[in-house]
Amino acid sequence: MGDVRREMERLRPVYETGVLRLLLRANAKLYVALLRAAFDPLTGELPRETLEERFAQSLSTLADTGDYTPKPEQTYAEAAHQILVDLSREGDGDYAWLANAHDAASHRFLYRLTARAHRAIDALGRLEDDTRTLSGAQANSIIMEIEHARMQLTADPGERVRLLNQEIKERRHEIKRIQQGQQHAALSEDQVRDVIAVIHNTLRGVPIDLRELVLAERDNGDALRRRMQGGDMSVDEILTAYHEEYRRSFQESDSGRRFEDAFQVIITDEGRQQIDDALRDIAKTPYLAGESSALLDQIRDELARIYEGIEAVRGQMRVSDEAVSRLVRQQTDTRYRTMLGTLNRLFVRLNANAKAHPNDASRPYPTNSAGAQFAALPTRPARSMARSAALGLSDMQLRQGDNTSPVDLKSMIVGGGPRLHRMIALIRHDPAIRTDGRIDVAASFNRLPDEERRESELIGFLSTLPCSSDATGATWHCITLDGTQRDWITRPILTTRDELDEIVRQG
């Protein structure tokens, strides 16, 4: 007999996560139905007035079918408002279904589902799924994966050769049987269903992981904007907190690592095209019928949700990157205004001092900006002034041996956030290499797809680069918000593959 205390300790964190507590609350079934009907998609946000109106319409429909009984002398609008209050309440050990945030642009409160509410609704969705995909083909696929892992991890070269030869022998024996007609080419309905079930099991759960990433990045971006509006933290502290949350969500969590590694293949147009072509070929086979055909339709639905989830993650990351860019520009503008005010006060003081003591060469000008003091300028130069042309960017480039210093690419990427890090990671996969072996960052950037060259995401990075007005400048082909192309001309940025690898590795 097991220890009941140990079993209780195993169950306690499951109940304390809030999912079961939400589902066990009174009227939980009504709440889930109202939320599913009001939010489309579930990750969206609605103003309070719109949400109450949808609740009232849903309650009226449920009252007509007998699934809801309104209280005496209470209108549907009042009932909807009371339900909204109940869903937002958090106390006495209960968790809230809805969370609200004040939108500074529209001056309204926007409501959205909490992360626990999403997990509770997903749990109900998994209970509703009555598919049975545990099969012999799935068991065989597990055995094949284990055998393949053993083959790859075998340290003895002779043993690896033996295993490979055994696999080749089995394949040749199977080909020979098919050629001799001893094995029918047609598959049974159960075999086809088992093969399709293996693919279905692989894809299940991926859309939920993507939704968790969307929620994590949404909450992280909301916290960033609230800190910006509150002003209780410095800019560096806000950015540090945001990047720490981003690292935990996208680099340390299981769903984040899967998104960065496996889902990179699905993000590309080539990967999606390959998957869609394979599914079309499978659909054309004469073996699909009955349950196997329905299972293939579920696979298409899962892939569609995966594609939408990936775009939702990228869209939420883009919203957060815009908030980071605004914060960086705010910091830059604050520093500029502070320095400009200091210089203006210094100029006024020096001007007043010079007027009060004219032609007094022995009296220095106190600036109170450093330990040194600057003597007064003479009224006439001691000798004729010789004018020399200042060095242009191209001249400085030639003198430095076509080196892009003092542009510190690594510091700019690390301080620019995850969007610039992703740009460098894409450039590393397909760089434009010059004859001297160095990588031209601007030319590599121009090779990226249009959705990766958005000007709104890179304006902070491009504005910090030195400009160039001659033929030696590098042109960045950016895409504006309306879809048109706008060129930025800066000094060329040249780097090496080792530097790009270090930037991507340190992240």
Kindly report the number of other CB atoms within 10 A of residue 139's CB atom: 12
- In 403-507, where does DSSP find H-type helix? 409-416, 418-429, 441-446, 455-463, 497-506
pLDDT of residue 429: 85
Contact 310, 267 (CB under 8 A): yes
Q: What is the distance between the alpha carbons of residues 322 and 310, in angstroms, rounded to a whole number? A: 19
Question: Which of 112, 144, 95, 119 shows the shortest CA–CA distance to 35?
Answer: 112
- Percentage of the chain lying above the pLDDT 70 cut: 76
Cis geometry, peptide bond prior to residue 41 (ω within 30 degrees of 0): yes
pLDDT of residue 395: 44
What is the per-residue pLDDT across 25-71, written as a single tens digit (0 to 9) for each?
A: 778 888 888 888 888 777 778 888 888 889 888 888 888 888 888 88
- Classify residue 412 by its DSSP letter: H
What is the per-residue pLDDT across 93-107, written as a single tens digit (0 to 9) for each?
A: 567 888 887 776 677
Helix, coil or strand: residue 453:
coil
Mean pLDDT by 10 residues, the chain (507 residues): 72 71 80 87 83 89 85 85 85 74 74 82 71 54 74 81 86 80 62 73 75 79 75 76 79 71 65 80 74 76 80 79 75 70 79 76 56 53 52 42 58 76 85 87 89 81 72 82 84 85 77
What is the per-residue pLDDT across 279-334, written as a single tens digit (0 to 9) for each?
A: 888 877 777 766 677 777 878 888 888 888 778 877 877 877 777 777 777 667 66
Strand positions, DSSP E, 283-440: 439-440
pLDDT of residue 386: 55
pTM confidence score: 0.47
pLDDT of residue 398: 42
Q: What is the distance between the alpha carbons of residues 346 and 367, in angstroms, rounded to a whole number? A: 7
Q: What is the distance between the alpha carbons of residues 259 and 310, in angstroms, rounded to a whole number? A: 8
Question: Which of 306, 317, 506 shows the shortest CA–CA distance to 425?
Answer: 506
CATH no. of 4-128: 1.10.10
Kindly report the number of other CB atoms within 10 A of residue 82's CB atom: 14
pLDDT of residue 379: 56
